[in-house]
Amino acid sequence: MTELPKQAHTSPFPPPRQQPLHQSDADEDDDNVKQLKQCSSLYLSLQDCLVNSNRNWKSCQKEVQALKACNDRMKIDKGK
């Protein structure tokens, strides 16, 4: 018996494009991130940590505390 060559499984849909980390979040929350001003990089660092740790907040406490401190400084500066 002769075997037929195996054909690769093809989908009628193109493969999903990999978006850069935070791309979809940034598109939806762009205004919110912009409001963070100088704290935006800390916010994105926290998001990276959460993605890399499977949303484990305990492992991201350094980033949480840095963002909190930045936010507190902004509130103080805003009150002056």
Provide the domain count of the chain.
1
Residues 22 and 50: beta-carbon distance below 8 Å: no
Residues 65 and 35: beta-carbon distance below 8 Å: no
The pLDDT assigned to 78 comes to 81
Which regions in the chain score pLDDT beneath 50?
A: 18-19
Indicate whether 17 belongs to any domain: no
| Domain interval for residue 39 | 35-78
User: CA 51 to CA 22: how far, in whole Å?
Assistant: 9
Indicate whether 43 belongs to any domain: yes
The pLDDT assigned to 23 comes to 52
Indicate whether 66 belongs to any domain: yes
